[in-house]
Amino acid sequence: MGMTMSQKILAAHAGQENAKAGEFVDCALDLVMANDITAPVAIRQFAECGGDRVFDPEKVIFVPDHFVPNKDIASAAQAQCMRNFVREQGLRYYYEVGRGGIEHALLPEKGHIAPGDAIIGGDSHTCTYGALNAFSAGVGSTDIAAAMIVGKTWFRVPTAIRVELRGHKRGMVSGKDVILHLIGLIGTNGATYRSLEVGGEGLADMSMDDRFTFANMGVEAGAKNCIFEFDSVTEAYLTEHGVTRYRPTAPDPDAVYERVVRLELDRIGYTVAKPSLPSNTAPAETLRSVRIDQAVIGSCTNGRLSDLRAAAEVLRGRRAADSVRLIVIPATQRIYAEAVREGLVDVFLAAGAVVSTPTCGCCLGGHMGVLAEGEVCVSTTNRNFVGRMGHVSSQVYLASPAVAAASAVAGHIETPEGL
């Protein structure tokens, strides 16, 4: 019986010829990552478990990104805990404020992710890295602590859902619209502890940034991981970012899938997730009656350069409505610098936006855009749960950068063509 991409990667890292769905495997890891929320907990567990030295100081990466620049004394203490551990352990890769960015945009940009890798991270959106044909999953801080000691972790090999892409996207429709459409179809529990495996002839129409966005939100359908087939788009990205070590993984022709979902890209329009689930989707043009107080363009989901370009295309020559606060957050320092060089930041400032240093910030209701009672936000982030970005009575609508930018101008949910 053939194997899926995830089965092949897990088998290889367990030193086995094959791995069957439902089987438990103990896998060597290529990378262990944690942030300023999950690393301090893992560091304490590391000590309690008798940890002395990490298994490999080049394979453990810490990224402070959630409450940075530090918003209060507690968050400053968390970051300090990370820095102390980095020095004690001699970790090679630690991306300080001003030298890094949001973890899930940063690690691929820095060349840390390669096809065929097995990766865990102390953040649920670690599944982002599957866009580069890797097996990547979020885990808890205790698992991070154990992995930092032994360089391994266990998995129950997931069953798989095949996502078959066909056709071509229309207009400014993006990977965000595609993944919201999928979650709307299968629900937030539709892929629970399954591997979303993406391929098909329509894959060629998905840019690398589209794929990162799609993989990032795989967990919002409950997926253990989301993995894309390797192709020329993947290879071009790896070459651009200096990655030479990789093992492309393809599914066997007779791989077994629990379900196959076929998406016709040319039938997918601008899609918005209404409060308070990513699966509560609707066409953007049906929501024009929804007035907004804030628009956010950024995050690990949609803070990449192509996202900022799309937003700037909509905003150029226009201003955000007087009633709307527009917040733009480039995902990494490199992206921020390029946005400055291209004049995108000038467009945002002329539109009345504030441009933030890279931070998770308002995505999790941490800082840099927390919502007050009853306020409504359209955001390019990944979750719109009750109280996700602030007060429990606030509401978050998830959308693409193009829709978020158009909505900021209109003062209500709008499409680029509707301006």
pLDDT in tens, 293-351: 999 999 999 999 999 999 999 999 999 999 999 999 999 999 999 999 999 999 999 99
pLDDT in tens, 363-379: 999 999 999 999 999 99
Q: For residue 175, is pLDDT > 90?
A: yes
What integer pLDDT is reported at residue 358 of this predicted model? 97
Instruction: Calculate mean pLDDT across residues 43-68.
Output: 97
Q: How confident is the model over 378-394, as pLDDT tens digits?
A: 999 999 999 999 999 99
- How large a percentage of the chain has pLDDT more than 70? 100
Rounded percentage of the chain residues whose pLDDT exceeds 90: 100
Residue 354 pLDDT class (50, 70, 90 cuts): very high
The whole-chain average pLDDT of the chain stands at 98
User: Which DSSP letter does residue 368 get?
Assistant: S
* pLDDT of the residue at 110: 98
From 3.30.499.10, 3.40.50.2300, 3.40.50.300, 3.40.640.10, which CATH number describes the 271-418 domain?
A: 3.30.499.10
Mean pLDDT of 169-174: 97
Mean pLDDT of 215-231: 98
Q: In sequence order, what are the residues at sequence separation of 6 or more whose Cβ sits closer than 8 angstroms to the Cβ of residue 131? A: 108, 208, 211, 212, 214, 215, 216, 226, 228
Contacting residues for 226 by C-beta, under 8 A, at least 6 apart: 127, 130, 131, 195, 196, 197, 198, 214, 215, 218, 219
pLDDT, tens digit, 9 for 90 and up, residues 179-196: 999 999 999 999 999 999
What pLDDT is attached to residue 287? 98
Is the CB of residue 267 less than 8 Å from the CB of residue 178? no
Rounded to whole angstroms, the maximal C-alpha distance in the chain is: 61
Token representation of residue 273: 């997730």
**What value does the mean pLDDT take over residues 155-169?**
98
The domains of the chain are located at 5-264, 271-418
At residue 25 the predicted structure's pLDDT band, cuts being 50, 70 and 90, is: very high
Residue pLDDT, tens place only, 121-141: 999 999 999 999 999 999 999
Say yes or no: do domains 5-264 and 271-418 share a fold. Answer: yes
pLDDT at 198 over 90: yes
Q: What is the CATH architecture of 5-264?
A: 2-Layer Sandwich (3.30)
What average pLDDT does range 24-46 have in this prediction? Answer: 98
63 has a pLDDT exceeding 90:
yes
- pLDDT for res 269: 98
pLDDT confidence bin for 102, thresholds 50/70/90: very high
What's the angle, vertex CA 324, arms to CA 303 and CA 75, rounded to 5? 50
pLDDT at 1: 80
pLDDT at 40: 98
Q: Decide if 73 contacts 22 (C-beta within 8 A).
A: no
Amino acid at 159: T
Digit-coded pLDDT (tens) for 406-417: 999 999 999 999
Cβ-in-10-Å burial (0-12, 13-18, 19+) of 16 comes to middle
**101 strand-pairing partners:** 332
**Residues 288, 374, 125, 36, CA torsion sign:** positive
Structural Rg of the chain based on CA atoms: 20
Residues 395, 409: Cα–Cα separation, whole Å:
19
d(CA 220, CA 87): 35
State the pLDDT confidence band at 59, using cuts at 50, 70 and 90.
very high
Long-range CB contact pairs, 250-254, < 8 A, 24+: 250/5, 251/2, 251/3, 251/4, 251/5, 251/8, 251/162, 251/197, 251/199, 252/2, 252/3, 252/4, 252/8, 253/2, 254/1, 254/2
